């Protein structure tokens, strides 16, 4: 039995679809199991990664786990997984851990990775870069015909389709020879935010204006939507990648047997979110 934590998450939803389609026994855990969209025959269980009381029931009979990087109760999670006889954990971490360790986004993921460092089971770590789905943060402005305010329009990221992150997790969960190690995942190309927004405009047919704003103005604008430390963490990454292309890896292809999907393909699948 495979336990997917964070069941309402985009990657968990894609991973469930892959595992279910191939007939693997899956249980889906979530902080809000009643809200899970589940296919017939898949059971839901309460699994709040900040509440160790939920761990024993979620892990009963489980041999492999797909785990979101929540460090709050990671020691308790490892103890409960050990007690349940779990053999393998796939952690969804982030390539942020390869940058400055003081960055709060890196630290949150590093803490989760370190919490698994001495775990007795095999641990596979996925370290994706920026998700293609981050483009959704521009949808409101585009639909309202407002400019997109960016502090670093020429910062590069490597948009990775969430299905490719799920496919990498699927490969690790279902192919015992691939288990273990840290895997840095990227999309197939590195693009500046300006290039990404040009693609949104091309694919949706919308006219999109980008306004360069100061980091301070952007942080103030985001104050109602994200904690200040998280905004500072993002600004730090964008400053470090301003004009500097992201190094692309071939890990998605190596793990899954197919090249990663392009940002344009993600946009084509999700274009309606930017227009309707
Ligand atoms: N975005 C990026 O660029 C990026 C880059 C590298 C790594 N990552 C990693 O990937 C993670 C995000 O993965 P994801 O996109 O699959 O997750 P997501 O869709 O952002 O959801 C994250 C978690 O939040 C809960 N959740 C989902 N929908 C919710 C809703 N409508 N209301 C409240 N809570 C909800 C779910 O946990 P429950 O079901 O248990 O509540 C879910 O696992 C990040 O946290 C980070 O660790 C992200």
Q: Among 58, 200, 56, 67, which Cα is nearest to 121's?
A: 67
For residue 45, give the 3-state DSSP assignment: strand
Give the atom of ligand 1 at the shortest distance from the alpha carbon of 33: 39
Q: Is the pTM of this model over 0.75?
A: yes
Going by pLDDT thresholds of 50, 70 and 90, the confidence category of residue 37 is confident
Pocket test of ligand 1: the residue of 5, 6, 109, 137 to mutate, having most ligand atoms within 8 Å of its CB, is 6
Q: Can you give the pLDDT at residue 130?
A: 97
Q: Can you give the pLDDT at residue 276?
A: 82
Q: What is the pLDDT of residues 140-160, one digit of tens each?
A: 999 999 999 999 999 999 999
DSSP 8-state symbol, 145:
T
- β-strands 156-157, 191-192 pairing: antiparallel
Task: Note whether 99 and 240 are within 8 A (CB).
Answer: yes
Q: What is the pLDDT of residues 128-140, one digit of tens each?
A: 999 999 999 999 9
Domains present along the chain, CATH in parentheses: 2-128 (3.40.50.720), 129-161+186-246+259-276 (3.40.50.720)
For residue 149, give the 3-state DSSP assignment: strand
pLDDT at 124 over 90: yes
How many angstroms separate the alpha carbon of residue 259 from the centre of ligand 1? 24
Percent of the chain at pLDDT > 90 equals 99
Give the atom of ligand 1 at the shortest distance from the alpha carbon of 96: 6
Q: Among 93, 157, 164, which Cα is nearest to 130's?
A: 157
Going by pLDDT thresholds of 50, 70 and 90, the confidence category of residue 110 is very high
Q: What is the pLDDT of residues 220-275, one digit of tens each?
A: 999 999 999 999 999 999 999 999 999 999 999 999 999 999 999 999 999 999 99
Task: Note whether 44 and 28 are within 8 A (CB).
Answer: yes
Task: Find how far residue 159's CA is from the centre of its chain.
Answer: 11
């Amino acid at each position: 039995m495979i336990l997917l934590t964070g069941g309402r998450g985009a990657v968990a939803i894609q991973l469930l679809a892959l595992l279910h389609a191939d007939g693997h026994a899956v249980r889906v855990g979530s902080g809000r199991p009643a809200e899970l969209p589940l296919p017939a025959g898949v059971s839901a269980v309460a699994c709040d990664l900040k509440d160790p009381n939920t761990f024993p029931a979620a892990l009963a009979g489980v041999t492999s786990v797909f785990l979101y990087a929540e460090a709050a109760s990671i020691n308790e999670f490892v103890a409960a997984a050990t007690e349940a006889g779990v053999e393998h954990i796939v952690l969804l971490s982030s390539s942020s851990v390869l940058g400055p360790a003081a960055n709060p986004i890196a630290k949150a993921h590093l803490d989760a990775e370190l919490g698994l460092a001495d775990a007795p089971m095999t641990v596979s770590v996925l370290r994706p870069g920026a998700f293609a789905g981050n483009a959704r943060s521009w949808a409101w402005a585009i639909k309202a015909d407002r400019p997109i305010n960016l502090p670093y329009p020429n910062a590069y990221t490597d948009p990775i389709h969430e299905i490719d992150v799920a496919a990498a997790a699927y490969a690790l969960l279902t192919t015992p020879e691939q288990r273990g190690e840290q895997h840095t995942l990227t999309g197939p190309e590195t693009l500046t935010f300006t290039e990404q927004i040009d693609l949104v405009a091309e694919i949706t047919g919308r006219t999109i204006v980008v306004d360069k704003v100061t980091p301070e103005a952007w942080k103030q604008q985001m104050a109602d939507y994200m904690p200040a430390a998280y905004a500072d963490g993002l600004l730090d990454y964008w400053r470090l990648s301003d004009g500097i292309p992201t190094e692309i890896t071939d890990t998605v292809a190596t793990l899954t047997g197919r090249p990663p999907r392009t940002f344009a393909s993600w946009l084509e699948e999700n274009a309606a979110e930017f227009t309707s």
